[in-house]
Amino acid sequence: MASTAPLIHHSQIEDQIEAMHQIGYAYIPQALTLEQVAELKYQMDHLEGIPESFDRDRAAQPGVFLEKHINNAFNRDRSFFDCLDIKGVIEIAEGVHGSDCHVIGMTAWVTGPGRPDQTLHTDWKPVSLPDDITADPRVRIPIFITTTHFYLNDMYEALGPTKFVPGTHVKQNRPEPSEELSILCGAGDAVIFRSEVWHRGTANTSNENRYLLQVHYAQRMITQKFPPYLNKFQFEPHVLDWATDRQRRLLGGHQKGAYD
Ligand SMILES: O=C(O)CCC(=O)C(=O)O
Ligand SMILES: [Fe+2]
């Protein structure tokens, strides 16, 4: 029987940020309304992959699971664009990465029945220090990249929840599988996690599709990943017309700084 991850919502942003340092993730319940959830799923169902953008778009076939993984989702529909700075999430992102942080990617991801387990991994470990060093309370590793998962299903074990091993962002070795805990949250809930925490997506053994929206944030100095590269990615003009000042910055409209 899988164990369930603690999902604690701290009402103060400072405490949400502290959770990022202590356990590696924070929970934002009902980050999206159920109307947003329904619209995002509808749009995901109707998106078509753009191969040059490294999208994956594959229908289910006998022995092959459905998978749609669409990059630059903010460029595809207003419902995705509006998820650039969801209340309760953006304050944490700005709090951990700085007020000049930006979005380095947004993916719409549908995985059908038959999706296999991932192995436990970190998405990126920019600073690797011995465990006895990171155990020293004077050592606090900056948070370089975070990912927000907006879950668009009510999650249950067979649908393939994300599993986390809380607190392992400061551990060098892969934790034991027995330590992992399932994120069983409701549709519209979000979890933001730092790139070093050990986690994995798990097998979809249900008979329904799993819908996930990922928003990746980072310190400004970390480059944005909006493929295709070498001048080929273009913002849709109407997308920039939608943007508030903060959304423009999140998309890369920065003040001049070092190296510019
Ligand atoms: O599907 C998930 O819940 C997690 C996916 C993930 O960790 C990854 O693709 O790096
Ligand atoms: Fe991952």
Run of H or E residues at 211:
strand 210-218
Stretch 217-239: mean pLDDT:
98
pLDDT of 2 reads 85
Of 93, 69, 108, whose CA–CA distance to 194 is shortest?
93
Residue 196 burial (10 A CB sphere; 0-12, 13-18, 19+): buried
pLDDT of 56 reads 98
pLDDT of 58 reads 97
What is the span of the domain harbouring residue 49? 3-250
Band (pLDDT 50/70/90 cuts) for residue 172 is very high
Among the bound ligands, the one closest to the CA of 214: 1
Query: Whose CA is closest to atom 4 on ligand 1?
Result: 201
* Closest approach atom of ligand 1 to CA 111: 1
pLDDT of 227 reads 98
**Surrounding residues of ion ligand 2, Cβ less than 5 A:** 123
Structural domains in the chain (count): 1
- Domain contains 259: no
**Distance from the Cα of residue 196 to its chain's centroid:** 13
- Domain contains 123: yes
CATH number of the CATH domain containing 188: 2.60.120.620
What would the pLDDT profile of 153-167 be if each residue is shown by its tens digit? 999 999 999 999 999
- Domain contains 256: no
Torsion of CA 101, 198, 70, 63, to 10 degrees: 180
Question: What is the distance in A from the centroid of ligand 1 to the CA of 15?
Answer: 25
What would the pLDDT profile of 7-50 be if each residue is shown by its tens digit? 999 999 999 999 999 999 999 999 999 999 999 999 999 999 99
Query: Whose CA is closest to atom 7 on ligand 1?
Result: 200
Distances (CA, A) of 106 to 55, 93, 139, 227: 12, 14, 31, 11
As for ligand 1, residues whose beta carbon falls within 6 Å of it are 118, 123, 162, 199-201
